[in-house]
Structure 1
C-alpha cells in the first residue's frame, strides 16, 4: 500500500494547478466514456432544450443533461439492500448508456432522491441552448444577519469545551425573493461561469415542485476505470477584489495552524473511511490552495483503487458525512446539529451526482446551493466550530460562502458581512 498521511504539518507555499488539471482530465474522460455508451432513444426526435432537464451536472466544459424520469430508486429497496447495492441493482436492470442521478440527504436516515433519466446527453457547455437569458429581479433578502446562528455557535463552543464533541459544523439559511419565478437553467449557467472548475448542478424535485441548483467546489468521489479520486476541502478564506490583498489572504490561509490542523483531521478521517472500499491509497503530505470565484480553500487530492464490484456511490457513501460538513465524532456532532439548528438540512450538506452501469461517476458535496421554489430561493451555508472559534467570525464565514449563490441570483454582496 502506498500511503502518506501527513507525516509533518506543512504550510502551503503555492497554488497547485496540476491538481485542477488532474480533476479536469478525469472529468473529461468520464464524460467521454459515457458519451460512447449513451443510447439515443429516437434519432429523429428533436434535441431537448436543457431548460426542460430533470438533471444537469457540469464541470470543465462538459455537461451531462438528463431528461425525464424512467425509474426511481425505491426507498424500501434502499433500506432493505443498502443504498449502494440498491443503486447498482437498479442500474443493472437498465439498458446500456443509462445513469443513476440525484441527491442523497445530509442525514443518512432520510430518503434519497435517485432516479434513472429517460434520456441522457453529453454536451459541451459552450453553446448550450436554453429558454433565453431571462433573469429575475431580486425584491427582498431575508436573514442576512442571523443572531440565532451566533447564539447557536456560542452554545456549540460551550459543548465542545465540556468534551461533548470535538468539532461541529453549524449552518444557517438565507432567503432571496424575486419579482418572478427563478429559472434554474439561467442560475446554473451563471454558477458555471463563476467557477467552471467546480461541479455545477441542478436537480428537479417533483414532489416538492422545486429545484436544487448549485456549484460545489468539493469532489467527494469520482471513479474512472476503477480508479478513485476524492478531493476533500477544509479550511477556507474569502476572496478579495484587490489582487494584492487577495494573495495575502491566500498566504494567511496557507500558513494558518488552525486551518491546517482542521484540514489534516478531515483528510485522516476520509483516508481511514476509504480503506473499506479501496486500496493503494495515495495521499499527499500536505494540502494545496484551491481558488474559486468567491473563496480560497485548502484541498488534498486523494487517489486509490476501488475494490471490484463497487461503484462511485459506494465510495461517496463510505465517506459521507465528512467532518468538514458535520463535525466529529460524527454521531455526537449530528445530534448537536439537530439540537441547535432550527430546521432539518434536507439535501444541503448531502451528495449530488451520477453513476453509470460500470460504477463510474462523480459525487460532489451538495453546498454553495439553493432550493428554488417559485420566486423563493433558500440558501444554506455552514462554518466549522471548534473550541477557540469566535461566533461572530463564524457568522462572517457563512456570509462569505453565501456570496457564490447570491452572485448567481443577482445579489451583489462583495465585501459585505451580511
Structure 2
C-alpha cells in the first residue's frame, strides 16, 4: 500500500533512530524511491574489481581503506515506491554520534590553495581538486524530509540516503554520472567548470581556465577508456548543463567495452576522475589526502546500482553531506589549475554549498 511522502519520511526517520542499515535512492527523474534494508551491515568489498558480477546498491569512498570500505547493499528486502510496511530488523547496528570536526575556515582554505598552486605551477600536477567542509547545526530536522526535499529540488540528480556502521549516515543529490550501461554498451561524462545560474540567460561564457579544466577531464577519460580496451567511443560536447543553482561544462561519452571488461574494471579505470581528484591520478589522490585538513570519507566517492544482468548506474558522490546527531557536515570542492584564482574558487564552493543548504532549509 502506498503512503504520502510525509509518512514515508517518518518511516526513514524511524529506521535511522533504530540504527538500521539501509540505502534509499531515486534514480534521475524517477518519482518512486527504492529502499534496501539490511538485517545487519552491508557487505564490505576489498577492491573495485570485486563489483564484477554483483547486484545491489554500492557506496564507495574517495579512497579505499579498512575504515572506509566499499559497501554493497544486496539484501533481498527491497521495497519499490512509497510503501507503508517493511520488514524491520530487531536490532540496530548504526550509531550516528557527534563529530568534533569543524568547518574549513577561509584561512585554512587559502593556505591549502597556496600549497596546491605551488605544486601546479611547479609542474608536478596539471590539475588538483581542493575541497572544503561546512558544519551546520542539525537541530531537530527530519532527515527523511531533507532527503525528499533533495529529490524534489533536483529531479535530474541521483538522490540517495545511506546508513551503515562503517560510513555513518550520508545524504546526497549528485548530477555527475560515473558509469551507466549494460551488455557492453556504456556511457560516462566529463563534468568541470562551475558558474551560478543567471535568470533569463541561455548562453554562458566560460573562462579559459574553465575550458582548460574541462579539456583535462575529457582527455583523461578518453585515455583511460582506451587503455582498458575500449575502441568504439563517441563524444558529445562540451555543453552547458544545469545542476540546481549552478551550471557546469559537460561532455558525454558513449562507448562499447569488450566482453572481458566488467563494471569493476571500468570503475577502477575511471575513479576518481580529475573532476574530483587531479592528474596524475594516483599521485594527486595521495597528495590531496595528505594535504587537505579534513577527511573526505565518502565525499567524491561514488554511489549507485550495479546489476549483472540489467543496467548499471553509478554516480560520483558530489553535493553530499554526512549527518550526525547534532550537525550536518557539508562538502564541496573545485578544480584548481595553474590559472586559478583563490577568491574565485572559494566563491565557487560557496555556490555549491548553497545548493545543500537550501535543501536543509526547505524543512524549516
Give the TM-score normalised by structure 1. 0.72
Tell me which residue corresponds to 1:168: 128
Residues 295-353 of structure 1 deviation map (CA, whole Å, 9 limit, x = unaligned): 10111111112332544443222200111101111133223312321122111111111
Tell me which residue corresponds to 2:22: 54
Residues 201-239 of structure 1 deviation map (CA, whole Å, 9 limit, x = unaligned): 11112246x311000110010113432011221111112
Contact 1:311/1:358 (8 A) holds in 2 = no
Listed as ranges, the matches of 1:68-79 within 5 Å are 68-69=38-39, 72-75=42-45, 78=46
- In structure 1, what is the Cα distance between the partners aligned to 2:313 and 2:277? 21
Match of 1:252 among 205, 219, 222: 205
Q: CA 1:340–1:298 in structure 2 vs 1: closer, same or farther (change >3 Å)?
A: same
Q: CA 1:187–1:128 in structure 2 vs 1: closer, same or farther (change >3 Å)?
A: farther
Match of 1:189 among 144, 148, 159: 148
Residues 81-123 of structure 1 deviation map (CA, whole Å, 9 limit, x = unaligned): x432x2335x3xxxxxxx3213111114552122312322333
Tell me which residue corresponds to 2:96: none
Tell me which residue corresponds to 2:35: 65
Are 2:80 and 1:122 aligned? yes
Tell me which residue corresponds to 2:88: none
Residues 10-49 of structure 1 deviation map (CA, whole Å, 9 limit, x = unaligned): xxxxxxxxxxxxxxxxxxxxxxxxxxxxxxxxxxxxx995
Q: CA 1:71–1:171 in structure 2 vs 1: closer, same or farther (change >3 Å)?
A: closer
Tell me which residue corresponds to 1:83: 48
Tell me which residue corresponds to 1:283: 235
Tell me which residue corresponds to 2:3: none
Contact 1:105/1:347 (8 A) holds in 2 = yes
Match of 1:212 among 163, 167, 170: 170
- In structure 1, what is the Cα distance between the partners aligned to 2:260 and 2:42? 22
Which runs of 5 or more structure 2 residues have no equivalent in the other structure?
Answer: 1-7, 16-20, 86-101
Contact 1:352/1:366 (8 A) holds in 2 = yes
Match of 1:375 among 326, 335, 352: 326
Listed as ranges, the matches of 1:21-40 within 5 Å are none
- TM-superposed CA distance for 1:164, in Å, is 2.0
- In structure 1, what is the Cα distance between the partners aligned to 2:48 and 2:286? 22
Contact 1:177/1:375 (8 A) holds in 2 = yes
Q: CA 1:128–1:230 in structure 2 vs 1: closer, same or farther (change >3 Å)?
A: farther
DSSP-derived class of the 1:196 partner: coil
Contact 1:233/1:263 (8 A) holds in 2 = yes
Once the two structures are overlaid, the 10-residue window that deviates more, 192-201 or 108-117, is 108-117
- In structure 2, what is the Cα distance between the partners aligned to 1:227 and 1:64? 24
Tell me which residue corresponds to 1:345: 296
- In structure 2, what is the Cα distance between the partners aligned to 1:69 and 1:300? 41
Residues 242-282 of structure 1 deviation map (CA, whole Å, 9 limit, x = unaligned): x23xx17x5123xx322122112211111221231544111
Tell me which residue corresponds to 1:336: 287
Which runs of 5 or more structure 1 residues have no equivalent in the other structure?
Answer: 1-46, 92-98, 131-141, 413-418
DSSP-derived class of the 2:52 partner: helix
Tell me which residue corresponds to 1:150: 110
Give the TM-score normalised by structure 2. 0.82
Tell me which residue corresponds to 1:28: none
Once the two structures are overlaid, the 10-residue window that deviates more, 257-266 or 48-57, is 48-57
Tell me which residue corresponds to 2:351: 400
Please, what is the CA RMSD of the aligned residues?
A: 2.8
Once the two structures are overlaid, the 10-residue window that deviates more, 144-153 or 193-202, is 144-153
- In structure 1, what is the Cα distance between the partners aligned to 2:118 and 2:298? 28
Tell me which residue corresponds to 1:19: none
Contact 2:177/2:189 (8 A) holds in 1 = yes
- In structure 1, what is the Cα distance between the partners aligned to 2:355 and 2:346? 16
Tell me which residue corresponds to 1:300: 251
Residues 46-84 of structure 1 deviation map (CA, whole Å, 9 limit, x = unaligned): x99555471122121243321225774344xx3xxx432
- In structure 2, what is the Cα distance between the partners aligned to 1:274 and 1:310? 11
More helix by share: 1
